[in-house]
Structure 1
Amino acid sequence: MRADRLLSILLLLQVQQRTTARELAQRLEVSARTIHRDMEALGAAGVPIVAERGVGGGWSLLEAYRTSLNGLNEAEVRALFLAQSGRVLNDLGLRQAADAALLKLQAALPGSARHDAEHARARLHIDGAGWGQSAEAVPLLPAVQAAVWADQQIRMVYRRADSTAVERVASPLGLVAKGSIWYLVAAVDDAVRTYRVARIQRAEPTGAACVRPANFDLAAYWEHSKAEFRANLPQYHATLRTDATSLEYMRALGRYARVLSAEPAGDAGMLRVEMLFEGEQHACEYVLGFGSRAEVLAPPALRALVLETARQVVARYEQPSGG
């Protein structure tokens, strides 16, 4: 609708200060000619729009023409700009609407509040897809969060996966929520590292300010870190025989089991599926979860393991109940 487009143009000009008709046309998916007509309509309505020609020119608003959103404190601004999950919004088809809403809010915020919003978005990233773990206690999350907001170094005692405790002086760069699991991204010894917040046993401010690496992007770092984690997982290749319905579920199930390819297996409705697993035991448990709907074709060792495990299950259930 034209009214929505005119409002979007107005808000874009407030956020970006100056933009060209071509940029607006691309952003709003209309022609440059339509944008020029919209600018005439805004001008006729009394909006002080200025057109500058030449290199570096474009459309802009007079500096005095601003809107203001009053009554929001710093915590409320942070909450508004962080209360979103990219994956959920994409699944619901609401990503574009969410971006438009944030643009409107950003345009209406006064300068100091806009800084608070940008500060929060640079330091907290929400990743809604969990690793599969249940929620865990994070008693030191408030202390870590305070250090992240204040850009202040902390001295922490961290329990590694092998249960050994180490002491580190860390410059907190941001927090990431991976499903129900919290991670701290911090600079330690000139390297950016990731720490599970539940394993932090002590966290105390040092009084020193942390220095953020130039152009550090928390979301980009996290995506790169996830890709490296997946690439370094043990990879066990197996070939299965299954039906189309089970294949769809396999693709949705996902966790550390990846469908590489699928092609007709020769039988009506059956498919030959190439997959990657963490390891042999994981592949065995995965296949058994599909019962008679999945059959291992290769490797022979996995087929033998599934058969032997199935026999043990049958033997267990043939015995009288221990209860």
Structure 2
Amino acid sequence: MRADRLLSILLLLQVHQRITAKELASRLEVSERTIHRDMEALSSSGIPVVADRGTGGGWRLLEEYRTRLNGLNENEVEVLFMGLPERVLRDLGLQKASEGAQLKLFTALPTMYKQRAEYARQRLYIDSASWRNTEEATPALARIQEAVWQDRKLSFSYRRADGTYVERVADPLGLVVKGSVWYLVVAIDDSVRTYRISRIKEAQVLDEASQRPPDFDLASYWKQSLVDFKAALPRYYVTVYADEYALARLNQSPYVHRIEQMERLDGEGRVKLVIRFDVEMEAHDFLISFGSHIEIIEPDTLREHILQTARNLLSFYERKTSVSVPLDDEQVDQGQR
């Protein structure tokens, strides 16, 4: 622990040029007395640490004692300091390690590049969380990560979409985080499969070493699996007429990326759209919310489905309004006269 602290002190001195014992003690969560002992240890090992007395004083390194990191251009420096999203690092238990690595890298940069690193850090922040805060619980992630990092076989229970559980023993190949969702890529029975980690229970790291296909590349596999997944999705196309209000709403919804065709109808103030959905029920539930602002042209089955839903709603509310409503005080008074 002390060796880590001494290194941290050295790096902080290189970053800040001058820093007080009180500030160091606060950052490293030790006493000022401990900091003074650490400074003596650094000095004894030949590192030129100097204490400046008085206002504005503190500990500093002699100017000639600096490390340098050469061979990086400005763009490469900026990319290095953009970093991974905090949530990904937190889930993997690497947030502290990332902070330490950033500090060490920053101190090793030539002075001219330190400004570019800080420039990038102040102008880009990656937030991987969704607006709806739908982060999934992944209690098995730490154990799975251990198996992946140590190249050990993994046994686990997996909950299928229907709620049933299956038992698996697999060779873990890698972890993928997409948005806020973690996935485990494994090899089972000479095939590569993907499992959603939030559905994994009772993961156990086995003593047996895992087997990794020699030509396997995680990034290439994931990119191809996305292509295959999208290609296998069902497709349900709907042709509609939409007014300006409906078009504005569509442009602000996720379905704007599913508009396959758009044709403006001259003189009518409407547009003809072809929208892609997965299934009819999805199209029904979304399009009915537009009311009369969207007219469904085809398919006829969807048009009839929405018409029937509208009739059912009308009948429902007509029955509700036919039930006697309690009179207010004024109506009661008028009835008594």
TM-score range, shorter chain: 0.5 to 0.7
Match of 1:83 in 2: 85
1:169-318 counterparts in 2 under 5 A? Answer: 169-214=169-214, 216-244=216-244, 246-247=246-247, 249-254=249-254, 258-318=258-318
- TM-score, normalized by length of structure 1? 0.56
Match of 1:166 in 2: 166
Deviation at 1:287, TM superposition (A): 0.6
8 Å CA contact retained: 1:157, 1:202: yes
1:94-105 counterparts in 2 under 5 A? Answer: 105=105
Deviation at 1:106, TM superposition (A): 9.7
Structure 1 155/80 Cα, relative in aligned 2: closer, same or farther at 3 Å?
farther
Match of 2:69 in 1: 67
Deviation at 1:188, TM superposition (A): 1.6
Deviation at 1:253, TM superposition (A): 2.5
8 Å CA contact retained: 1:243, 1:270: yes
Corresponding letter in the other structure for 1:296: I
Structure 1 unaligned blocks of 5 or more: 1-64, 69-77, 86-101, 110-125
Deviation at 1:242, TM superposition (A): 0.7
- What is the root-mean-square deviation of aligned Cα atoms in Å? 3.8
Deviation at 1:291, TM superposition (A): 2.3
Deviation at 1:250, TM superposition (A): 2.7
273-282 or 204-213: bigger deviation: 204-213
Distance 2:286 2:212 in 1: 43
- TM-score, normalized by length of structure 2? 0.54
The count of corresponding residues between Structure 1 and Structure 2 is 215
Deviation per residue, 1:62-102 (Å, 9 max, x gap): xxx9529xxxxxxxxx99742289xxxxxxxxxxxxxxxx9
Distance 2:152 2:175 in 1: 14
Identity of aligned residues (%): 41
Distance 1:216 1:249 in 2: 44
Corresponding letter in the other structure for 2:138: V
8 Å CA contact retained: 1:256, 1:278: no
Corresponding letter in the other structure for 1:82: L
8 Å CA contact retained: 2:85, 2:128: no
Deviation at 1:200, TM superposition (A): 1.2
Match of 1:320 in 2: 320
179-188 or 272-281: bigger deviation: 179-188
Match of 1:140 in 2: 140
8 Å CA contact retained: 2:155, 2:169: yes
8 Å CA contact retained: 2:85, 2:127: no
8 Å CA contact retained: 2:245, 2:293: no
Structure number with greater Rg is 2
Match of 2:54 in 1: none
Deviation per residue, 1:293-312 (Å, 9 max, x gap): 21101111111111111222
Distance 1:79 1:316 in 2: 60
Match of 1:12 in 2: none
Deviation per residue, 1:212-231 (Å, 9 max, x gap): 33454433332322222222
Deviation per residue, 1:173-210 (Å, 9 max, x gap): 22223333322111222222110112212211112333
8 Å CA contact retained: 1:288, 1:306: yes
SS in 2 for 1:207: strand
Deviation at 1:107, TM superposition (A): 11
Distance 1:239 1:174 in 2: 42
SS in 1 for 2:320: coil
8 Å CA contact retained: 1:159, 1:165: yes
Deviation per residue, 1:137-187 (Å, 9 max, x gap): 322122112222323221112122233322222222222233333221112
Structure 1 252/183 Cα, relative in aligned 2: closer, same or farther at 3 Å?
farther
Match of 1:46 in 2: none
Match of 2:94 in 1: none
SS in 1 for 2:223: helix
Distance 1:238 1:198 in 2: 34
Distance 2:224 2:312 in 1: 42
8 Å CA contact retained: 2:129, 2:180: no
Corresponding letter in the other structure for 1:258: R
1:35-74 counterparts in 2 under 5 A? Answer: 66-67=68-69
Distance 2:252 2:217 in 1: 29
Corresponding letter in the other structure for 1:189: D
